[in-house]
Amino acid sequence: MSERRADFGPDVEFALITFSDPKYLRAYRQRTGWDLPILTDADRAIYRMFDYGRGSVWRVYGWKVIRQYVMLLRSRSLGRMEKATEDTLQLGGNVVIAPDGSVQWVYRGAGPDDRPTVDELISQVQEARASAES
């Protein structure tokens, strides 16, 4: 999306909201190149506000990933497993907020890879802009 940021217009601000522990955000920025604000929603109030649910184990992981974990467990390549600190089943989405602060559009992902296209997001931003001007 970063290569299409200008297509949204100069008046659009972006933010990534995560429930991850802030201590992991620096590594995330380095790994992904994300250079925009990252906000932490540790208690998931925003996730609840936009009614983002949790996915099923099958939808989030699927057969391919589960099979890889089983093979790693059999080969003992995982080493000592630590308790997970993240809710890997938490689903996310995208939100467009109009210039007046009202929620213009909410996209609720059905799985970890379910996101609207950049063109869909641009269209929703344009609609928010048009409704603010009228």
Asked whether residue 85 carries a pLDDT value surpassing 70, the answer given is no
What confidence score (pLDDT) does residue 60 get?
A: 62
Six-digit token string for 81: 């497993």
The per-residue pLDDT for range 29-65, each reduced to its tens digit, is 888 888 889 999 888 899 889 988 777 766 666 677 6
Please tell me which residue, 75 or 23, carries the higher pLDDT value: 23
Q: Is the dihedral of CA 103, 104, 110, 111 positive or negative?
A: negative
Asked whether residue 126 carries a pLDDT value surpassing 80, the answer given is yes
Q: Please, which pLDDT band fits residue 67 given cuts at 50, 70 and 90?
A: confident
What confidence score (pLDDT) does residue 114 get?
A: 84
Six-digit token string for 15: 């933010």
